[in-house]
Amino acid sequence: MPKEEKKQAPEGFEPSMFENVEPICLFDDLFYVGNRVVGIHILKTSEGLVLFEGTDNPDADEEILQPGLKKLGLQNEKILALMITHGHFDHYMGAAKIQGRTGCPVGMSLEDTAYLSWADENMGPDIPRELPRITRILKDGENLVYGDHCVYVMAAPGHTPGCLNFCFDVHDCGEIHHVVMMGGYGVFGPGNYPDGAYPYGVQWAVDQALLFASSCVKTWEYCKKNHCDVYMNPHPHLCELIEHAEQNRHRKEGEANAFVIGTEGVRQWISERFHVCIESAQKFTDIQVPGRN
Ligand SMILES: [Zn+2]
């Protein structure tokens, strides 16, 4: 996210989107705490909790996680790990304090462990330099076992150089569902920074956009093969999380969980991301495809 988006509600975002929502039970073993823009997904395993993401709030532990766990009745569960999809401030800022209190391992890719400390978009004056200590380097293709659950780590670079997806199973009314949580959602480049201060140059932006498009293909190939039927993103507005939660509030016995969108639904989300990347690559350069512009 460009640094300009941190201080005030960015264009297209109502300030109310940054108010915390009531904790959400998505599945029997998956929960969400946070606001309508970013938050923490909580996977409940037989041995404790796995947290995904650290949000953009340095005090997320006190203000979001602890009260959220209490409302969900999960306050006595051990926190087994905190995994971060990528090294942007709005994903790791609350991680340091969660780690400080619980001592949980914090995982990220090797590339983004470096990226988070030098990325220009993490250097805003309002962004504290309180970085989590990355104690677990997450690698492409590894399966991490936590009690009765398993988290598959997939490298999906482009949004950042070491952006990750996480895939895991969840349960609902005795049925098993396969979740893909996509860490990235697009690529910033020249034109996305209002003051024209994009720091990395056109070549980097186009490379990253095309790399992320390729990661979308990789993600889809995995989802197709593994019949993923639930699509998640750390940003609720990028996976209709709040809307689906609202649908589930009126769910009657025997009705489907609104978060289960089927493999075709997953394909559509990934496809949308793919096209955003291709269009971005086009926009970032003045070399244009004939007949397209
Ligand atoms: Zn990001």
pLDDT of 153: 98
Is there a contact between 37 and 22 (Cβ–Cβ < 8 Å)? no
User: What are the pLDDT digits (tens) for 198-208?
Assistant: 899 999 999 99
Neighbours of ion ligand 1 (CB under 5 A): 88
In angstroms, rounded to a whole number, what is the distance separating the alpha carbons of residues 147 and 274? 34
Predicted confidence at residue 288, as pLDDT, reads 77
Indicate the pairing of strand 39-45 with strand 30-34. Answer: antiparallel
pLDDT of residue 265: 98
CA of 187 to the centre of ligand 1 (A): 8
Q: The pTM is what?
A: 0.93
Nearest partner of 239 among 205, 277, 266, judged by Cα: 266
What pLDDT digit, counting tens, does each position of 17-32 carry? 889 999 999 999 999 9
Q: Any long-range contacts for 20-26 (C-beta under 8 Å, 24+ apart)?
A: 20/63, 20/64, 21/242, 22/71, 23/68, 23/71, 23/72, 24/241, 24/245, 25/72, 26/170, 26/241, 26/244, 26/245, 26/248, 26/257, 26/259
The single residue listed with the structure tokens 């009657």 is 252
As a whole number, mean pLDDT of residues 258-284 equals: 96
Distance in Å, CA 70 to ligand 1 centroid: 28
CA of 159 to the centre of ligand 1 (A): 6
Distance 252 CA to ligand 1 centre (A): 36
Q: With bands split at pLDDT 50, 70 and 90, how would you rate the model's confidence at 7?
A: very low
State percent of the chain over pLDDT 90: 81
Distance 1 CA to ligand 1 centre (A): 5
Residue 244: its pLDDT value, please? 97
Digit-coded pLDDT (tens) for 160-196: 999 999 999 999 999 999 999 999 998 999 988 777 7
CA of 81 to the centre of ligand 1 (A): 20
Q: For 224-251, what is each residue's pLDDT tens digit?
A: 999 999 999 999 999 999 999 999 999 9
Report how far ligand 1's centroid is from the alpha carbon of 109 (Å): 14
pLDDT band at 155; cut points 50, 70, 90: very high
Q: How far is the CA of 72 from the centre of ligand 1 (A)?
A: 28
Confidence class for position 49, pLDDT limits 50, 70, 90: very high
